[in-house]
């Protein structure tokens, strides 16, 4: 399948590029997408949540009142969960939220996300460009020209460009990412995926490298 290549001012350059069908033309696998997003979200959790149970509360262990004759229930410790300031019953403990996923499933999910964006017409290709100095407004203007004014655009570059990175990190709703750092969640989370001309080859080669 072919896509027109746009210039930085949003007009077509008169050239087109062929996108690999085995990546952008497959039938999206919904379950693989679900698993990849589930893994991504799980790995964003620190897992450091913790509350003290009754054995970890600092307090006296003396019996707080006599066993009988008070007219109320028996109570043996101020650290009991039924009292204010006592331990929590079955409170959260630190744990690792790790979701294991096979490489083939992750690769299928990424290809499915790209194919889904392609079927939605949400992928655009633009010519390679650089910025002489870091300038957020300049990059925002270029992205706006290519996307037609939509929000949540993701610009994919072939390699790390410091000026592009510095210009893009202050964008409120748009982002800049290298082709090698592109993942399923970032693809699905954007409304428009803008690929630079040289990034397509990097994306295709990343699938070839992972398959070995």
Does residue 79 sit in the same domain as residue 136? no
| Res 1: pLDDT | 78
The domain total for the chain is 2
Looking at the fold, whether 162 and 199 belong to one and the same domain comes out as yes
CA distance 149 to 144: 5
**Which residues span the domain enclosing 81?**
47-96
Same domain? For 112 and 29 the reply is yes
Same domain, 198 and 119: yes
In our burial notation (b when 16+ CB lie closer than 10 A, e otherwise), range 172-211 reads eebbbbbbeebbbbbbbebebbbbbbebbebbbebeeeee
pLDDT < 70 regions, the chain: 209-212
Q: Are residues 136 and 59 in the same domain?
A: no
Distances (CA, A) of 37 to 22, 152, 186, 193, 197: 21, 18, 9, 18, 27
Question: Within this chain, do residues 92 and 160 fall inside the same structural domain, yes or no?
Answer: no
Are residues 28 and 75 part of one domain?
no
In this structure, what CATH number is given to the domain that contains residue 106? 3.40.1370.10
- At 50, is the secondary structure helix, strand, or coil? coil
What local confidence, expressed as pLDDT, does residue 172 receive?
A: 87
Q: Are residues 116 and 180 in the same domain?
A: yes
* pLDDT value of residue 61: 85
Q: Are residues 130 and 179 in the same domain?
A: yes
User: Which pLDDT score, from 0 to 100, does residue 174 have?
Assistant: 93
Q: How many CB atoms lie within 10 A of CB 12?
A: 10
pLDDT reported for residue 141: 94
What pLDDT does residue 210 have? 63
Q: Are strands 2-6 and 12-18 parallel, antiparallel or unpaired?
A: antiparallel
pLDDT confidence of residue 6: 93
Last residue within a domain, chosen from 37, 68, 96: 96
Instruction: Determine the pLDDT at residue 211.
Output: 58
């Amino acid at each position: 399948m072919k896509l027109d290549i746009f210039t930085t001012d949003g007009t077509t350059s008169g050239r087109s590029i062929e996108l690999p069908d085995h990546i952008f033309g497959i039938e999206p696998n919904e379950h693989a997408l679900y698993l990849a997003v589930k893994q991504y979200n799980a790995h964003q959790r620190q897992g450091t949540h913790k509350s003290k149970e009754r054995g970890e509360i600092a307090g006296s262990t003396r019996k707080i009142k006599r066993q009988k004759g008070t007219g109320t229930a028996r109570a043996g410790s101020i650290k009991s969960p039924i009292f204010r300031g006592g331990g929590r019953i079955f409170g959260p403990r630190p744990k690792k939220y790790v979701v294991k996923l096979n490489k083939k499933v992750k690769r299928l999910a990424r290809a499915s996300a790209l194919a889904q964006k392609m079927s939605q017409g949400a992928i655009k290709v633009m010519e390679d460009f650089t910025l002489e100095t870091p300038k957020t407004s300049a990059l925002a203007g270029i992205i706006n020209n290519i996307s037609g004014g939509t929000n949540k655009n993701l610009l994919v570059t072939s390699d790390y460009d410091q000026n592009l990175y510095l210009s893009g990190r202050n964008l409120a709703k748009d982002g800049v990412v290298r082709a090698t750092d592109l993942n399923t969640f970032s693809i699905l989370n954007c409304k428009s995926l803008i690929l630079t001309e040289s990034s397509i080859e990097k994306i295709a080669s990343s699938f070839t490298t992972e398959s070995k």
